[in-house]
A and B are shown apart, each in its own frame.
Chain A
Amino acid sequence: MRYLIALILCCLAQGVWAQDWEDQRLFPGASATTSLRIISSTDTDLFAPLIETFVSGNPDVSIEYFVTGTADIDRRFREIPDAFDIAISSAMDLQLKLTNDGYALALDNVPHPDWAEWRQSLFAFTAEPAAIVINRAAFAGVPIPQSRQELIEALRARPEVFRGRIGTYDVRRSGLGYLFATQDARASETFWRLMEVMGGLDARLYCCSGDMIDDLTLGKIAVAYNVLGSYAEARAESQNVLEIVLPSDFPTTMMRTAFVSKASRQPAAAERFIRYLVSYQSNPADGVRSLPSLQESEAGSKRAAIALEPALMTFLDTLKRNKFLTEWEDALIQD
Chain B
Amino acid sequence: MTDSVAVSGSLRNRLMLTLIGGAAILALLVFFAVRNYAVQLAQEGQDNILAASATSMLDAATFRDGVVELDLPYSAFSMLSTAADDQVFYAIRQDGAFLSGYADLPFSESQMFQTDQVRGSDVRKISVSRTLIGANSRTEIQVVLAQTQDALSETLDRISRNAALLGIGFFALAAALSFWATAATIGQLGNLTTSVTRRGPQDLSPFAKPVPREMAPLVTSLNSLMGRLDQSLSQSEDFIAEAAHRVRTPLATVRSYAEATLQRVDKEENREAMRSMVKAIDESSRAAGQLLDHAMITFRADHLELEDIDFVDLVHDLVQRMTPIAEMKDLTLTLKGDARAPFSGDPVLVQNAVRNLIDNAMKYGPRESSIEIEVTAKDRPQVTVSDQGPGFPTDEIEILTARFQRGANATDTIGSGLGLTIARDVAAAHGGEVVLKNQTGGGACVTLSL
Q: Which A residues lie at the B interface, using CB under 8 A?
A: 100-102, 114, 117-120, 186, 307-314, 317-320, 323
Contacts and interface: CB of A to CB of B under 8 A. Distances in A.
A311 B87 contact: no
Contact of A314 (B73, B81, B87, B99): B73
A319 B88 contact: no
Interface stretch (B4-12, B64-72, B245-253): B64-72
B149 to A, nearest CB: 13
Interface string B430-444: 000000000000000
Given A100-B89, A102-B119, 4 more contacts: A117-B85, A314-B73, A317-B101, A323-B71
B100 interface: yes
B69 A323 contact: yes
A317 B100 contact: yes
B87 to A, nearest CB: 5
A186 B75 CA distance: 11
Given A102-B120, A319-B100, A323-B69, A118 B85 contact: yes
A311 B99 contact: no
Nearest to A121: B85
A334 to B, nearest CB: 23
A320 B85 contact: no
Contacts of A186: 74
Interface hub of B87, B120, B121 (most chain A Cβ within 10 A): B87
A311 B72 CA distance: 10
A119 B80 CA distance: 14
Interface string B73-104: 11111101101111111001000000111000
Nearest to A323: B71
Nearest to A122: B85
Contact of B75 (A307, A311, A312, A323): A311
A186 B87 CA distance: 23
Contacts of A310: 77-78, 80-81, 86-88
Interface string B403-429: 000000000000000000000000000
Interface in B7-25: none
A270 to B, nearest CB: 20
A318 B88 contact: no
Given A309-B78, A310-B81, A318 B71 contact: no
Q: Is the interface of A mostly helix, strand, loop or mixed?
A: helix
A309 B75 CA distance: 11
Given A100-B87, A118-B85, A318 B99 contact: yes
Interface hub of A101, A102, A114, A313 (most chain B Cβ within 10 A): A313
Given A317-B100, A319-B100, A311 B70 contact: no
A119 B70 contact: no
A313 B80 CA distance: 12
B81 A319 contact: no
A174 to B, nearest CB: 21
Contacts of A311: 74-78, 80-81
Contacts of A118: 85
A294 B215 CA distance: 79
A311 B78 CA distance: 4
Contacts of A308: 85
Contact of A320 (B72, B81, B84): B72
A203 B121 CA distance: 46
Nearest to B83: A114
B74 A119 contact: no
Contacts of B101: 317-318
A296 to B, nearest CB: 24
B70 A314 contact: no
A118 B71 CA distance: 25
Contacts of B74: 186, 311, 314
User: Closest 8 CB pairs between A and B?
Assistant: A318-B100, A311-B78, A311-B77, A310-B88, A119-B85, A309-B81, A310-B77, A320-B72
13 contacts: A100-B88, A102-B119, A114-B83, A117-B85, A118-B85, A119-B87, A310-B77, A311-B74, A314-B72, A317-B101, A318-B100, A319-B92, A323-B71
B120 A319 contact: no
A176 to B, nearest CB: 19
Contact of B119 (A101, A309, A312): A101
B72 A317 contact: yes
A314 B85 contact: no
Nearest to B73: A314
Given A102-B119, A118-B85, A314-B73, A319 B80 contact: no
